């Protein structure tokens, strides 16, 4: 099946020319696909195209969308979570997070996840497969259609490990940048960190995109190797000191600072000694730390740290020269933790 989603203007012009149409017909297809107000998903509904051209495209297997809405949950704070089904009957999640000035799309890069982080619901069933670029991009269209707003920011923090799907990840970033007209600087790629893949990400970005200006966010969640291995099983293959060294090289290669995600887990990684340890680990390095409230899930024993303790932890980092922010969780009343909506649907 040939999916037109993710095709550039030039690609679509060539499709039109191949069918004996004028090049502007390809531009019409491009404008139709990426107009967030257009909720029609079928090629035969592109009414600006001649009927015979539409019929030929459809007959030859061209399509725009491969996903369907299976379930949706709207939280009291306006956060929208969508459970989408794929052509092969798998399920993925994406989330629209609105504020007054922006709409952030949290996207999945895989069906499930192989990393099995102990605090995450997604990894409980392992990895099914990686998503194609068109399936990644379709999540944006669904969020825009459902929320009737243009997405302004992208975070790859949904289901899956993006660095295990680098090629389709970068193809989707190309389209997000050029077709959806979202700057790379408004895109964040979040990874638990995979050996040798941080360097590969920057190298492939320059090859495929010509630049590497998105934000790399490392799901660190620990101040030392021992703690990290207890909550992230894959950490045993990648020493925390080596992650930091690879991140420093990423900064040198790209000129972009690295963000470190730090999920505050009560009694596990939130002690003041951990704050000092984390400060020493990151000192003298162009980076930023995001302290995150934990979305508790039934399947695991972790608990959220107190807000008072979070503030103390944050103040220690700041006093030690570390740039730090606190990210409040959104959509807490509607199965907010990644993987929960998919899991609850399977249990019905």
What residues act catalytically?
93, 338
| Coil/strand/helix, residue 140 | helix
| Integer CA distances (angstroms), 59 to 5, 18, 171, 309, in order | 17, 15, 26, 61
Q: What is the C-alpha to C-alpha distance for residues 137 and 8, in angstroms, rounded to an integer? A: 13
Q: What is the DSSP string of 27-58?
A: HHHHHHHT-TT-----GGG-TTS-HHHHHHHH
Closest CA to 138 of 187, 232, 233, 65: 65
For residue 176, give both structure tokens.
Answer: 């997000």
Nearest to 318 by CA among 294, 292, 293, 288: 288
Beta strands in 117-200 (DSSP E): 127-130, 153-156, 187-191
How far is the C-alpha of 13 from the C-alpha of 30, rounded, in Å?
9
Burial of 276 (0-12, 13-18, 19+ CB in 10 A): middle
DSSP letters for 8-19: -HHHHHHHHHHT
From CA 76, how far away is CA 21, in angstroms rounded?
Answer: 48
CA–CA distance, 71 with 343 (Å, rounded to integer): 12
Question: What are residue 256's phi and psi, to 5 degrees?
Answer: -105, 135
Using CA atoms, how far residue 81 sits from 3, 55, 156, 215, in Å, is 24, 34, 14, 23
């Amino acid at each position: 099946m040939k999916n037109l989603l993710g095709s550039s203007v030039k690609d679509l012009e060539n499709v039109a020319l191949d069918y004996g149409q004028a090049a502007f017909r390809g531009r019409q297809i491009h404008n139709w696909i990426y107009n967030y107000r257009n909720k029609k998903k079928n090629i035969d509904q592109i009414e600006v195209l001649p009927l015979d051209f539409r019929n030929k495209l459809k007959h030859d297997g061209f399509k725009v969308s491969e996903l369907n809405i299976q379930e949706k949950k709207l939280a009291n704070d306006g956060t929208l979570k969508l459970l989408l089904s794929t052509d092969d009957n798998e399920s993925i999640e994406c989330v629209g997070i609105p504020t007054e000035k922006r709409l952030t799309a949290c996207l999945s890069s895989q069906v499930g996840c192989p990393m099995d982080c102990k605090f995450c619901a997604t990894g409980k069933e392992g990895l099914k497969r990686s998503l194609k670029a068109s399936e990644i991009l379709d999540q944006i269209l669904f969020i825009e259609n459902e929320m009737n707003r243009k997405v302004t920011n992208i975070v790859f923090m949904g289901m899956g490990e993006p660095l295990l799907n680098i090629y389709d990840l970068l193809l989707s970033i190309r389209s997000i940048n050029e077709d959806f007209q979202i700057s790379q600087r408004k895109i964040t790629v979040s990874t638990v960190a995979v050996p040798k893949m941080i360097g590969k990400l920057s190298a492939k970005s320059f090859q495929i995109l010509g630049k590497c200006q998105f934000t790399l966010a490392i799901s660190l969640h620990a101040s030392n190797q021992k703690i990290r291995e207890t909550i992230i099983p894959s950490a045993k293959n990648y020493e925390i000191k080596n992650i930091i060294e690879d991140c420093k090289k990423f900064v040198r290669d790209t000129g972009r600072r690295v963000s470190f995600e730090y999920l505050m887990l009560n009694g596990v990684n939130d002690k003041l000694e951990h704050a000092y340890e984390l400060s020493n680990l990151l000192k003298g390095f162009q980076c930023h730390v995001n302290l995150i409230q934990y979305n508790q899930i039934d399947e695991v024993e972790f608990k959220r740290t107190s807000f008072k303790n979070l503030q103390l932890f944050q103040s220690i980092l700041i006093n030690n020269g570390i740039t730090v922010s606190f990210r409040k969780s959104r959509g807490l009343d509607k199965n907010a933790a990644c993987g929960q909506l998919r899991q609850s649907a399977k249990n019905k």
